[in-house]
A and B are shown apart, each in its own frame.
Chain A
Amino acid sequence: MPLNDILNTDIIDLEVQGTNKDEVLHYMANELLKNGYINDPEVFVKDIYEREAEGPTGMGSNISIPHGKSNSVLRNGIMIGKTVNPIRWESSISEDGFQDTHLIFLFCVSADAEFARNHMMLLSELAGKLGNDVRVTKLSQATTKEEILKLILCDDSELGEVDKLLNEEEIVDLDIDL
């Protein structure tokens, strides 16, 4: 079943070790290796950095979504990690270009388009779920793997409410051409 490939508690880690981005990426790549998702952590991390170089993957709310396509991928999946330490991460959201990351969604996607195709719809559907601020806030507060899995898989209508959103947007005038 493809969903179980892409998302399961084997690749959710509540204690990702490391004090900086490089350490946590290597830690997570090794977990993916252990679980049979990739065959070469060095190649995988290099491919992740290639995408990182094209633009920031910190999405605010202390969440980062590093993602790349790699030939080292054996199974498409999304690894979810809560970091033990706050990790300084490039971000398009903050003024100084960096954020503190606590929650990482590491997309593990094959560079082989044919191979990845079956999973792309599912991956995109799951990615879209991170566009919901209530879900993102609840994910940040979640303390068990099962809870994280459930929050990702449930429909928006099943999310319930939160007292305060992590990243409430203040509406301001933007400088746009129209």
Chain B
Amino acid sequence: MNIVAITACTAGIAHTYIVAEKLQKAAEELGHNIKVETQGSAGIENELTAEDIEKADVVIYAHDIAVRGASRFANKKVVDVPIGTAMKQPKSLIATIEKKLAAK
């Protein structure tokens, strides 16, 4: 799968970046491509391009504050989870998405 994701947490200091890394690792391990945009105190980093979004099979929002620029994903399949879920079970999250997409 081609995955794009956005991470955003309340203080924007820690979880945003830790979870971005966890999603990256989990996707790689399960054989998927992923690009994660972080929306934290350092601003928006690794910003998703129109092409990234166009190519993506699925969009993951891992957040506990509002995602900025959500209109970019108007026509995409979006999975919306609390950032704690992605922190705790990044591999399960991606594996479940893969299963659900395959079943469609």
| A is bound by B | yes
User: Are the CB atoms of A123 and B92 closer together than 8 Å?
Assistant: no
Chain A contact-residue range equals 35 or more
Instruction: Please indicate the chain B residues that have their CB under 8 angstroms from the CB of A113 in the complex.
Output: 41
> What's the A-B contact tally at a CB cutoff of 8 Å?
112
With the chains together, A65 CA to B42 CA distance in Å?
A: 18
User: Are the CB atoms of B92 and A127 closer together than 8 Å?
Assistant: no
Interface residues of B in 15-38 (CB under 8 A from A): 15-22, 24-25, 38
- Asked whether A178 and B13 contact (CB < 8 A) given A60-B88, A124-B42, A132-B21, the answer is no
Interface residues of A in 23-80 (CB under 8 A from B): 51, 54-57, 59-60, 65, 67-69
Number of B residues whose C-beta is below 8 Å from A? 42
With the chains together, A93 CA to B92 CA distance in Å?
A: 14
Interface residues of A in 115-155 (CB under 8 A from B): 116, 120-121, 123-125, 127-133
Instruction: Please indicate the chain A residues that have their CB under 8 angstroms from the CB of B79 in the complex.
Output: 176-178
* Partner of B17 from A60, A131, A177 at Cβ < 8 Å: A131
- Asked whether A124 and B40 contact (CB < 8 A) given A92-B88, A171-B95, A174-B93, the answer is yes
Q: How far is the CB of A113 from chain B (nearest CB, A)?
A: 8
With the chains together, A133 CA to B26 CA distance in Å?
A: 11
With the chains together, A68 CA to B11 CA distance in Å?
A: 7
Nearest 8 CB-CB pairings of A with B: A131-B21, A92-B84, A120-B42, A127-B17, A128-B17, A131-B18, A131-B22, A128-B21
